[in-house]
Amino acid sequence: MISPAYADLGAKLRRAHLLSTVADLLSWDEQVNLPPASAEQRARQMALLAELQHAAASDARIGELLATLEATKTTLGADELIVVRQARRDYDRMARLPSEFVSEKATLSSQAYHAWAQARAQNDFPGYAPFIEKHLGLAKREAAYLGFGDSPYDCFIDQMDPGLTAATVGRLFDELKQGLVPLEKKILAAPRLSPGLLRAFPVEGQQAFLREVTERLGFDYQRGRIDVSLHPFCSGTGADTRMTTRFKEDEPLDSLFSAIHETGHGLYEQGLPLDEAGTALGMHAGMGIHESQSRLWENQVARGRAFWRYFEPRFRARFPQQTAAISSEVLYRAVNAVEPTPIRVDADEVTYNLHIILRFELEKKLFAGDLAVRDLPAAWRESSRELLGLEPATDREGVLQDVHWSGGAFGYFPSYCLGNMIAAQFWYAALAALPGLEDDFARGEFSRLLGWLRTRVHRQGRRYEPLALVREVTGEDLSPRYLLRYLQERYGSLYLASSAS
């Protein structure tokens, strides 16, 4: 029987969660619909919602209920214990942050966002630097409030991926870098595709094709939609999942793969237990796991030959003229083009991870005090030369390219690369567990994979911390070697003579 205290706790958690869904919608609308001169009101709405969310999540009644439940732990079931443990974690975090601090951070984020957009447009890092500086100050204060005064960067890594530390991430990234840099060098030395093969794909046709693909993968449009925004993203929850993409007539694969990536996020949200929204049982396990779901569908699935066996004729049927002169092999190579670029969001899946390692290393130095904000542009260029073999022509293509720091979202970048590692490790586990899986794909059948992910990952909610979930699903500790193996297999056969079949 559910105790009254547990039921009351659930109601409080659902209320805080419901407020966060409203904030999500405001943010989605800001990026999809907001008229250009309406940003100021939206900033005030967002700051008010942040304040209300904080008040709801740090409600002293939650503290009382948690104390009651923790004192009678022996009467709780296993799932209830998990919910109470996570609620304690979230409550303590919220209760330790003063309300003024939360408002200050929300207000700064809104100002910094516009400062960033302007600085990027004008290639003016010094105009943006004071905002990063302020965010860094707030981040250190936040870490101190939350008991991470000695290791502030860990505070944010842990917020994104519970249980992880900068040291653990650093070890994983170093191991990855050792395998990745030589692989990248070999690929980049090999002959590559000339760009510009894909031209004049009408947006309407692109929209229809990506709708067909994402529905086939399992996205439920009864509870979600896809719109257009400057940068693709997925927000909302399983009750109302909002994805976006962007369209360029000459880059049909960009909108398609963006949409498939967001579909991976959306499938995860739609697979979390809806009845448990707001509790650990209905919560995603961390940003790395979230990213693993987008990457797995985008890369392991949709860049594979089996996927294209099914979808290539459909793609050609929608765009007969545009694809007439393109052979299957050339199309497949375009899907898997590797080309170094200074821009993370345009990067292929081989070099992408190096973009992340670059950001992780700079963030680590910023927090350790080994790098001043004003020296970021130079440090960025140096790392870029070292890791990617190129230097951004301008700060606009370098240190100013990403929005994250304007929101104070430090420690977020590593999740992208962790997600790639986790996706690859999940992928080999799925291949082992589901014989003939890729034959499914060639028939346009993706439900066995989705079902496996639903059971193993989605329905687990936040029962496990990310590293523990990886062990549960794959039987092994998280390791970069699966990502390296996957990249070697896919790109080796395409680009490296010695591995070509």
- Applying CB under 8 A, the residues found at the interface with a copy of itself are 15, 18-19, 21-22, 25-26, 29, 33-38, 40-42, 44-45, 48-49, 52, 220-225, 237, 239-241
Is 150 within 8 Å of 138 (Cβ atoms)?
no
Q: Which residue's CB is nearer to a copy of itself, number 13 or number 172?
A: 13
Is 488 within 8 Å of 500 (Cβ atoms)?
no
User: Phi/psi class of residue 162: alpha, beta or left (left: φ > 0; alpha: ψ in -120 to 50)?
Assistant: beta
Residue 450 in tokens: 């989705």
Q: Which residue's CB is nearer to a copy of itself, number 31 or number 45?
A: 45
Q: Which residue's CB is nearer to a copy of itself, number 237 or number 488?
A: 237
CA-based nearest residue to 444, from 310, 312, 318, 302: 310
The active-site residue, picked from 251, 262, 269, 349, is 262
Please give the Cα distance from 257 to 206 (Å, whole number).
Answer: 11
Is 97 within 8 Å of 142 (Cβ atoms)?
yes
Minimum distance from residue 221 beta carbon to a copy of itself (Å): 7
Minimum distance from residue 234 beta carbon to a copy of itself (Å): 14
Please give the Cα distance from 446 to 87 (Å, whole number).
Answer: 35
CA distance from start to end of the chain: 61
Minimum distance from residue 93 beta carbon to a copy of itself (Å): 22
Minimum distance from residue 28 beta carbon to a copy of itself (Å): 9
Quick check: is 184 catalytic? no
Distances (CA, A) of 265 to 235, 275, 295, 448: 9, 19, 9, 18
Q: Which is it for strands 224-228 and 234-237: parallel, antiparallel or unpaired?
A: unpaired
Please give the Cα distance from 270 to 223 (Å, whole number).
Answer: 8
Catalytic residue numbers?
262
